[in-house]
Structure 1
Amino acid sequence: MPSFAADPWKSALLLLALVLAALFALYWQTFASMVAIWERSETFTHGFLIFPISLWLIWRRRDRLRQLQPRPDWRAVPVLALFGLGWLTARVVDVLVVQQLAFVAMLIVAVWAVLGWRLVWEIAFPLGFLFFAVPMGEFLIPPLMNFTADFTVAMIRLVGIPVYREGTFFSIPSGDWSVVEGCSGIRYLIASITLGCLYAYLNYRSLGRRLAFIALAMVFPVIANGLRAFMIVMIAHLSDMKLALGVDHYIYGWVFFGLVMLLMFWIGSFWRETPEQGDNKPAAVPAMEAAGRFRWGSALGVAVLAAGVAAVWPLQAARIQALTLARTAPVQLQLPVRIDAWEAVSEPLTPWEPRYLYPDAKRSAVYSDGRHRVAVYVLYYRTQAQGRELVNSQNILIPQKHPVWKMPWEHDTADSVAGSVREGVLQSHFGQKLLVWRWNWVSGRFTVNDPLAKVLEARDKLLGRPRDAAGVVMAVEYEDDPTEARTVLRAFSRSALPAIERSLEESERHGG
């Protein structure tokens, strides 16, 4: 023990390594989920480089760090507990990205606990850079798709080519186009922000210049992606749809992105600052700190307490998961045969059905009032787990590039007796058009607010009373204008939602 105490850094780094190893062991599933996304997604492949880059950035400041005294900080422990609670909340409702953010935050707080606040502040950027290892940003895809469609169509019209647009689909005389996820520019944006932050840290000293370049890195790729999409459409149009399709489409995209990054770095070089003399030289250490001694006992206590606090949350998650999975009673759900003037009929409305993954039960029916028909689908979830939960980005009306159907748009609107509704339109190759409304039934209420649904689910599970959930989808045909179809859905849902909710509540009671 005395030999360790004689070398504060050796003692502190040993304890830090043990605490970090404990965190990786306790939260290995969360870290493994990050690695799995790095492996399968081109958008987040850069995640493999983030931890090595962070270590290299810390190594660059080694001369300054040697002059600072590691000082374990007990204040970090409650912060660690707070992030642990955040991880637990995200875990019980299967919000993977929040679990991953909380895990990375816990790694950073563990460094604070063992080494102290001053040392953490000295390497704040290298530690904060670790957040780029978290595969996040997919929530930006819809607005980026819409912007790319807006920009491309505007540019096409500017050069005098007639264009007809419907949502993210548009047609010009030479062919039909659609802006899908791969065209949204999310890959370019995430890569640009990551590189932009690293470039700003390495090449500027003042906060203003760093923020200015990061802002450039956020705006530049979005505009550039719009230009890329326009150029691809024009190349294909001028070559009679022979070029910029298939593999060429992606090659042109990445070559263009490389040129955009070079241009962005060239622009940034105009306000580049030379490294300040002594930037990596020994730091001036206050006399009181230099005179202080590293207290091995205190450091060991902080390390043990931090590891103990971190261990609480996976144990709680396992208990809550066991409680949820114990609800194995079969789902006894029946849709009403008659709802006021609407009666269930045997004739189907459409071959389409919503794509919801792994529900515990599915029920569907078609109702008619003699003039109109409405299709109803109920997707019931009892034993929700990762990948098998109701509120999931994979639970959609149709997958992209569906061979038969396309969805020009879907958005939330306040045009329903249930408050808000998620409304979308579907169009098939055989000419059928559908107006679709859908809701989530969570914690005994209808909502289209996904964050609220997750909060309600988390509240119920953390209080030890997990509840069932369901997706409710209604569809009606329309011809040219969905206005009449919207009136039909409004009238039907006024009677149907309360009746369906009674069926859902009855099924939940039978599930215990």
Structure 2
Amino acid sequence: MDHAVEKNVSKAAHPLIGKFADHSVKAPNWRKYTFITGLGLLVLFALFWPTFMSMVAIWWRSETFAHGFLIFPISIFLVWRQRATLTQLVPQPDLRALALLILLGLAWMLAQVADVLVIQQLAFVGMIPAMVCLLLGWSVTKAIIFPLGFLLFAVPMGEALIPPMMDFTADFTINLLQLTGIPVYRQGTFFSIPSGDWSVVEGCSGVRYLIASLTLGCLYAYLNYYSYWRRALFIAFSAMMPIIANGFRAYMIVMIAHLSDMKLALGVDHFIYGWVFFGIVMMVMFWIGTFWREREPVPRAIDTGAQRGEDRTGGMGFSPGVALMVGLLVIMIWPAWGTYINRAGQEMTAVTLEPPVTMASWQPIGYRITEWSPHYVNPTAEIQQDYQNNHSQVGVYLAYYQGQKQGAELINSQNVMVVQKHPVWRQLAHQETTVNLQGKQTTVSEAHLNSAHQDLLVWHWNWIAGHYTINSYIAKLLEAGTKLLGKSREGSAIVIYTPIKTNKEEARATMQHFLDDMLPAIEARL
């Protein structure tokens, strides 16, 4: 009698011991589930291999995203650390994850049709935890939710932050220089001090520091904290600190060069100072984080419902093999559909753009009014022509894209008015402005370009599916819509420019006059 009581007390005090001692509940065959899950993920990678390799290509060529090579190994290691917890859980296919797989597959297909690579990559990475949840269930997925979510850092994204962070770094540096008593003359992200000229370019924006800090900050928070509010606080801290630190870094580099008579912090040491400074910032950030460190909580019994014979995962009695087949059928639809849509597009034909015909009193001139040309990648055809009306001069540049695809598309981050570190031209300002296009008020992008000999005012916008827009998201939706409906996939960039002789208002009036007269001729060439 005493021995029986002792045995029952032992099981009540240690609910994780002898969990599957009840023969009515069969212990899960984790080898089988691991094999089936691994097979499902291998097929997933095979089906979306071009998307995965597009990520690898960016990791290889970009220092900002080189950490991507480490993300998958780190995630696998973090899952391996949880093996003791996982063996206590009862895996069970969860068919509710099929809805997420369908949504992610649809997002991937639409992104492929619209040539939005980052959305394709995000959707692909999102399919990994969805597939795990489908085959192993929510209780298992919840236990490794951070390692699975950590995979998002493998997606090369964040370049949209470069322009605002360049502006912030320029503002921060110039304000500190002025507080130091150094006079500064500023034009956009370019500024001059008595000892020399400076500019905040993409590499100085601090985006690579921010991405690296966020990646390390999330990992540190997961490994050292257990309460959600502490983790969130440290992650927010890891996002703010590199932004502020990068401003001080830029200021220090300018001051080192200024105080050394422009002999230091200009060449390779410019980048060395940056990464050394970033390393120190990370050490300080982790040191501060130790003040919030928590002790690991006492493990609690994990109630999976197995002892009561419950299926709370939505598996509806399906075996992992059947769940795998259903999941693979779902994800195979999207690459096949996307390939069909792309192959069903219009046939490529030879295209030659002709200059817009002369209208009103605007006459084409046989020489260039500027040496500048916008930078558009792989257009099907392009043309640049300058016109004159009395003493007014305006130029037109058209870039035409016939069958848009990745690397040869109208909406591309590499299609810019001036490339970074251009040897002659620089973009001093950029804003949106409203112009009259055949009686309709339309928003266009306005840029002020400068060289040693000339200032230009530039208006540019996009024509796609019969609509004018400067919004990249709207343009991509229009492009996807035309492909899905089997319509023409063509699009064009329209750029007009004029020299700034006295002020911008006069230049704006000149270009508006030109559009009033010549826009019908320009549209006829699209």
Give the TM-score range, shorter chain.
over 0.9
CA distance in 1: counterparts of 2:272 and 2:231, whole angstroms: 31
Per-residue CA deviation, residues 88-116 of structure 1 (Å, 9 max, x unaligned), is 11111211111100000011100011011
TM-score, normalised on structure 1? 0.93
CA contact (8 A) 1:457 1:466 kept: no
Distance 1:67 1:295, change over 3 A: farther
1:237 to 238, 258, 261: 258
CA distance in 2: counterparts of 1:108 and 1:65, whole angstroms: 15
Give 1:482 deviation, angstroms: 1.7
TM-score, normalised on structure 2? 0.91
One-letter amino acid of the counterpart of residue 146, structure 1? D
CA distance in 2: counterparts of 1:258 and 1:239, whole angstroms: 24
2:408 to 388, 394, 397: 388
CA distance in 2: counterparts of 1:499 and 1:337, whole angstroms: 6
Partner of 2:23: none
Residue 190 (structure 2) pairs with residue 190 (structure 1): no
Which consecutive residues of structure 1, in runs of 5 or more, have no partner in the other structure?
505-512
Per-residue CA deviation, residues 29-62 of structure 1 (Å, 9 max, x unaligned), is 0101111111111111111111111111112221
One-letter amino acid of the counterpart of residue 126, structure 2? A
Partner of 2:272: 251
Give 1:272 deviation, angstroms: 1.5
One-letter amino acid of the counterpart of residue 335, structure 2? P
CA distance in 1: counterparts of 2:36 and 2:308, whole angstroms: 20
Q: Tell me, what secondary structure is at the counterpart of 1:211?
A: helix
Partner of 2:304: 285
Per-residue CA deviation, residues 202-228 of structure 1 (Å, 9 max, x unaligned), is 111111111111111111100000000
CA distance in 2: counterparts of 1:413 and 1:263, whole angstroms: 44
2:475 to 449, 453, 458: 453
CA distance in 1: counterparts of 2:49 and 2:425, whole angstroms: 40
Partner of 2:180: 159
Residue 375 (structure 2) pairs with residue 352 (structure 1): no
Per-residue CA deviation, residues 240-287 of structure 1 (Å, 9 max, x unaligned), is 000111111001101110111111112222122111122xx7634335
CA distance in 1: counterparts of 2:197 and 2:436, whole angstroms: 34
Which protein has the larger Cα radius of gyration, Structure 1 or Structure 2? 2
Partner of 1:267: 288
Instruction: Name the % identity.
Output: 52
One-letter amino acid of the counterpart of residue 12, structure 1? Y
One-letter amino acid of the counterpart of residue 505, structure 2? T
Distance 1:295 1:17, change over 3 A: farther
CA distance in 1: counterparts of 2:245 and 2:407, whole angstroms: 34
CA contact (8 A) 2:456 2:497 kept: yes
Give 1:135 deviation, angstroms: 0.7
Residue 322 (structure 2) pairs with residue 301 (structure 1): yes
Q: Tell me, what secondary structure is at the counterpart of 1:165?
A: strand
Greater CA drift, 480-489 or 121-130: 480-489
CA contact (8 A) 1:435 1:478 kept: yes
The CA RMSD measured in Å over matched residues stands at: 1.9
- Trace 1:115-130 onto structure 2 (pairs within 5 A): 115-130=136-151
CA distance in 2: counterparts of 1:475 and 1:47, whole angstroms: 41
Greater CA drift, 334-343 or 306-315: 334-343
One-letter amino acid of the counterpart of residue 439, structure 1? W
Give 1:340 deviation, angstroms: 2.8
Per-residue CA deviation, residues 142-191 of structure 1 (Å, 9 max, x unaligned), is 00000000000111001111110000000000000000001000110000
Per-residue CA deviation, residues 438-489 of structure 1 (Å, 9 max, x unaligned), is 0111111111001110011011112222421000100100135222111211
Partner of 2:189: 168
CA distance in 2: counterparts of 1:399 and 1:142, whole angstroms: 13
Per-residue CA deviation, residues 44-90 of structure 1 (Å, 9 max, x unaligned), is 11111111111111122211111111110111112101111111111
- Trace 1:196-235 onto structure 2 (pairs within 5 A): 196-235=217-256
Q: Tell me, what secondary structure is at the counterpart of 2:431?
A: strand
Partner of 2:15: none
Which consecutive residues of structure 2, in runs of 5 or more, have no partner in the other structure?
1-25
Partner of 2:388: 368
2:83 to 57, 62, 66: 62
- Trace 1:16-35 onto structure 2 (pairs within 5 A): 16-35=37-56
Residue 498 (structure 2) pairs with residue 479 (structure 1): no
One-letter amino acid of the counterpart of residue 447, structure 2? G
